[in-house]
Amino acid sequence: MTTPRERVARAVNFQPTDRVPIDLGGMKATGIAVKAYNAVKKRIGLSTPTRIWDPKFMIAHVEEEIRQRFHLDVVPLDVSSVSDEMRPQREWVPMALYEGAEGLMPPGTMIGEDDRGRWVLMGADGRPTTLRMPHEGYYFDDISFDRPGMEIRPSEFQPEATFSDEQLRAVEARADFLFSQTDYAVLGWGGGVCFLGLSLITDRSSNVTMNCPTQWMTMLITEKELCHEMMGRSVDAAISRLSLLHEAVGNRCVAWGIAADDAGTQRGEFIRPDLWAEMIKPHYARLCSWVHSHTEWKTFLHSCGSVYHLIPHMIEAGVDILNPVQTSAANMEPGRLTREFGGKLVFWGGGAIRNMFLATARLKRYAPTFANVLSFSKRGVGTCSLRCTISSRTCLRRTSLQCWTPHTNTACSEDYVLCSFFRAAGKSTLLRISRYPGEFRWKLRSVGGSPTRCW
């Protein structure tokens, strides 16, 4: 029988597999909102405490029982959270910011309230960060981008070039455990770059836009040499960090995330492809070249939205895997991507249909969409060389559609399963693309009590 690790390894190398690999929670952008996760656990009768992987996004740690139940193939090795994962449960902080989001926050998590009644994520020093969640929200928004008076100061851009010994020891120990004690594929994350500035899963100090993406977009045209120098600095730092990580992890990971760099909207790229190729492509190429020359990792790029016209440049730059493959965006139809890029790029996703599934979603109405996504995956099995993995929140939508039971191929087509998931997921499934209050007229709701109280 093929193991999950073998299945993923074959898929990312364009080799036939027994089935399409499935990822839920292999990285933060392929995770599941804690409210949705708790609803799924309730549905299958699992009553264990839920660990909240990242308070910013309010996403859950996926537990082994869920991995087994839904036949998942990937586990995360994320530098930002690996130390917390190894801490005993008694150190995690019980908290619920809204109904259905009961769980354990990472050790040391502190949440306050500002004068407008919004939850505020506090820093390790007890001071407020720029992350805010309105009481009708489902996750924290970062209000630091393009704030009045902010500007890019190139001389102050000093991206982190190292990790602490404690972090590296934790990463090494976790990688050894995941590789030796499980048969899952391990996906690494940490130490990457962000060249367009619209990512919240990249280390803040590594964001070359310095929280001023609007000014940065202008600089890409008006101050090209300066931008190249700053991005070169970023790549130097990333290579230094990835080198340390490879010393600690070796080749236990099937792939490593080199960047979370959203470059698309629903309708198209928000940067001209020729400008992307001129300004950004060379820096991705240098980073990918180092990874390929010094490791056995595949290079993993997260970039939301319609990025069709950038894909040829990504391939030429050395990107091996693209996530999340937002098939509802312009020019991102599965058949088109398969025909044009099959055998050249691994599509780790195939769904991310963020603006379609609202609280009133019904199974019959959206079944054709799922069929389209699943057919995308099937094109990667057999004679076609493209491997398409179902990931992100779509993976659970697929399992909701077919609701596999352990150790069987039995499927149930209950409408309730799908609807339960989307009612539970709410606005939090629309993270990044549709993240602005009121965009889809969600009903406001209030949450009483203290953020330190559990409901």
Concatenate the DSSP letters of all residues of 130-192 into one string.
Answer: EEEE-TT-SS-EETTTT-TT----GGG--------HHHHHHHHHHHHHHHHH--SEEEEEEEE
User: How far apart (Å, rounded) are the C-alpha atoms in residues 280 and 455?
Assistant: 47
- Tokens encoding 192: 């990457």
CATH no. for 4-92+154-430: 3.20.20.210
328: left (phi over 0), alpha (psi -120 to 50) or beta: alpha
Across the chain, which distance is largest between two alpha carbons, in Å? 60
Least Cα distance to 207 among 259, 155, 277 occurs for 259
Give residue for tokens 């005993």: 88
State the Cα–Cα distance between residues 194 and 2, nearest whole angstrom: 36
Q: What is the pLDDT of residues 257-301, one digit of tens each?
A: 999 999 999 999 989 999 999 999 999 999 999 999 999 999 999
What would the DSSP string read from start to end of 330-384? Answer: TT--HHHHHHHHTTT-EEE-S---TTT--TT--HHHHHHHHHHHHHHHHTTSSS-
Residue type, 444: L
Residue 193: count of CB within 10 angstroms of its CB = 25
Which one-letter amino acid corresponds to residue 87? R
Q: How far apart are CA 33 and CA 40, in angstroms?
A: 11
Residue 114: Cβ-neighbour burial (10 angstroms; 0-12, 13-18, 19+) = exposed
Per residue in 336-365, is it b (16+ CB within 10 Å) or e — as a string? ebbeebbebbbbbbbbbbbeebbeebebee
Whether pTM > 0.75 for this model: the answer is: yes
CB of 152 closer than 8 Å to CB of 216: yes
Where do the domains of the chain lie?
4-92+154-430
DSSP 3-state of 407: coil
What is the structure's pLDDT at 170?
Answer: 97
Q: Are 245 and 191 in contact (CB under 8 A)?
A: yes
Calpha distance 208→159 (Å, rounded): 8
Q: Which helix (H) or strand (E) holds 225?
A: helix 224-249
Q: Look at residue 194 in the predicted model and tell me its pLDDT.
A: 94
- Return per-residue pLDDT of the chain as tens, 455 residues: 899 999 999 999 999 999 999 999 999 999 999 999 999 999 999 999 999 999 999 999 999 999 999 999 999 999 999 999 989 999 999 998 888 999 999 999 999 999 888 999 999 899 999 999 988 889 999 888 888 888 999 999 999 999 999 999 999 999 999 999 999 999 999 999 999 988 777 777 788 999 899 999 999 999 999 999 999 999 999 999 999 999 999 999 999 999 999 999 999 998 999 999 999 999 999 999 999 999 999 999 999 999 999 999 999 999 999 999 988 899 999 989 999 999 999 999 876 555 444 444 555 555 555 555 555 555 543 222 222 333 333 333 333 323 333 333 333 332 222 222 222 222 222 222 223 333 333 333 323 333 322 22
Q: Scanning the structure block, which residue is given the tokens 């997260």? A: 302
Tokens of 150: 């902010």
Q: Which residue has the tokens 């959270």?
A: 81
The amino acid that residue 203 corresponds to is D
pLDDT for 377: 55
CA distances from 323 to 28, 59, 300 (A): 12, 18, 8
Residue 334: name the closest of 368, 375, 370, 385 by CA. 375
pLDDT at 160 (0 to 100): 93
Cβ count within 10 A of residue 101? 25
Q: How far is Cα 175 from Cα 75, in angstroms, rounded to an integer?
A: 10
219/210 Cα distance (integer angstroms): 13
CA–CA dist 105, 93 (Å, integer):
5
Residue 37: CB atoms within 10 Å:
32
Six token digits for residue 231:
């991005």
> How is residue 63 annotated by DSSP?
P
What is d(CA 366, CA 101) in angstroms, rounded to the nearest whole number? 26
- State residue 420's pLDDT score: 23
Closest CA to 62 of 84, 82, 43, 38: 38
Tell me, what DSSP letter sits at residue 455? -
